[in-house]
Amino acid sequence: MLESSLMGIDLLYVARPAPAAAQSAAMRIIAEEALSASCDVWLLHRPEDHELLDGVIIPSRKTGFIHEGALPLHMRPLPADIRCKAIHLSQAASGSESGLGSGDLIVAEGSLQESEGNAYNCFARALDIHDDWEAIYISAMSFEAANRVANAYVSRLFGETSLPKEGRRDDRFLGAATPAGAIDFVPGLTQGLKRYLIKGRAGSGKSTLLKRLAAEGLRRGYDVEVYHCGFDPNSIDMVIVRELGTAVFDSTAPHEYFPDRETDEIIDMYDLCIAKGTDELHADQLAPIQSGYASAMKEAIGHLAEARRLRNAAEQPAAEVVNMQEIADAARGWAAELLRNGANGLRTAPDGTA
C-alpha cells in the first residue's frame, strides 16, 4: 500500500540496510523535528515490530525518509519524478558487521523464512475458515436493506456537496497481525473526527458499505483515506474524509472499539441487514468455526514472534556497536534538509499515523 502515500513526493531519502532500531530512532527524530516546525507527519509502522518505523512522510514539504526494505519490488527503481538520496546509517556505526559472520546470517535467514512461511500458512488456513464464517451471514443477509443503509449514509455524510477538484485516494492498512497480536492506530487516526462505528458479523456488509462511501467521496472530489484489512486486503476496514471531518470504520474484533466520544455513533449492520435469530439458528456451526479461526490466528502469531526473535538475534551484534548519538545528530541534519524542500508550500495533510 506504500505507493499511494508517495503520491506527490518529490524528494525521498532511502535508508540503506542498518539495524532496525537505529533506522527507527532516526525516523522518530525526523518526525519530531517536522512536528516542531508545525508540519503534519505520516508515520509508517513496521509490521514485524509495530513499535519501529519503516518510514516518515512530510506531505507539506513533499518529502519522506524510508527504509529501503519497505519499498515493494514493483517500485524499484522509484518513478523518475521522485528525487532519491541514499542514506547510509551504518556509517554512524563502528565496525557494524563485526561479530556476525556470514554463516550465522545464512542460518538466521533460513530459519527466519521458515517461521514467516509457517505464519502465512496459518493465516491462509484462518482466511479459509473466515470465508466459511462469512458464508453463514451472507446467506441470511438482505441486500435490499444493505442498499438502503448505504444510500442513507451517503446522503447523511455528503448531502448535496461536492468539491471542484479531483479527489485523492490514499490506500493504507488499518493495522497488522504482529508478534504482539493485532495492532491498529484507530484512536490517533480518528482524533478530532466525527466517528461512525460499524458493528456486525463477518459477511454482514461492513466492507461493502465502506467501499461505497469511499467511491462516493472520490466521485464528489473529496480526498479519501482508505484503510484495508491486513488479513484480507480486498476488504476495507475504515474510510476517512477529513474535509468532512468524518471517519467510518469497522469496529469489530480484532479492532473492536466502543463509543467513547460524545459524537460517536454506531451503525449495526447485523441488526439492520441480517435476518433475526441468525446467531441462534447457526450456533452449532458457528462454534467450531470461531474456535478453529482463533486457534489458527494464535498459531500464526506464535510463528511471527519466533521470526522476530530470530531477526533481533541476527541484528544484535551490529546494533550493539551503533553510535546512537551520531545517528541522532545525522537525523537532525537530514530533517533540516527535508524541511527546506517546499518550505513555502501550504500544509496539505492532517496529523496522523499511516
Question: What's the whole-number average pLDDT of the chain?
Answer: 90
Section 271-298 average pLDDT: 97
| Nearest in space to 4 (alpha carbons), one of 140, 120, 169, 122 | 169
SS3 string of 96-114? CCCCCCHHHHHHHHHHHHH
Please give the Cα distance from 206 to 235 (Å, whole number).
9
Distance of CA 107 to the CA centre of its chain: 31
Grid cell for residue 241: 474524509
Cα separation of 158 and 245, whole Å?
A: 11
Nearest of 307, 89, 296 to residue 178 by alpha carbon: 307
271 is written with which cell numbers? 441488526
Could you give the count of Cα atoms lying within 13 Å of 129 in the half-sphere of its Cβ? 20
For 225-240, the DSSP string reads EEEE-SS-TTSEEEEE
**For the segment 241-279, what is each residue's pLDDT rounded down to a tens digit?**
999 999 999 999 999 999 999 999 999 999 999 999 999
> What does the domain layout of the chain look like in residue ranges?
2-96+321-353, 141-274
Question: Cell digits for 133?
Answer: 464464517
Comparing 96 with 322, the larger pLDDT belongs to 322
Measured between alpha carbons, how far is 151 from 338 in angstroms, rounded to an integer? Answer: 44
Q: Are 199 and 270 in contact (CB under 8 A)?
A: yes
Bridge partners, 171 (sequence order): 226
Contacts of 88 (CB under 8 A, 6+ apart): 15, 16, 18
* Cβ 246 vs Cβ 217: under 8 Å: no
Range with lowest mean pLDDT among 11-20, 84-93, 129-138, 272-281 = 84-93
Tens digit of each residue's pLDDT (9 = 90 or more) over 313-343:
888 888 888 889 999 999 999 999 999 987 7
Give the span between the Cα atoms of 268 and 124, in whole angstroms: 28
Tell me the per-residue pLDDT of 24-68, one tens digit each, with 9 for 90 and over.
999 999 999 999 999 999 999 998 899 999 999 999 999 999 999
Question: Radius of gyration of the chain from Cα atoms?
Answer: 22
Decide: 65 and 341 in contact? Cβ < 8 Å: no
Q: Do β-strands 194-199 and 246-250 pair in parallel, antiparallel, or remain unpaired?
A: parallel
Q: Select from 198, 194, 210, 190 the least CA-distant residue to 246.
A: 194
- Kindly report, residue by residue over 103-120, the tens digit of the pLDDT: 444 556 678 899 999 999
Over 90: is that where the pLDDT of 101 sits?
no
Cβ contacts of 267 within 8 Å, gap of 6 or more: 149, 153, 196, 197, 198, 199, 209, 248
Least confident of 14-23, 214-223, 240-249, 271-280: 14-23
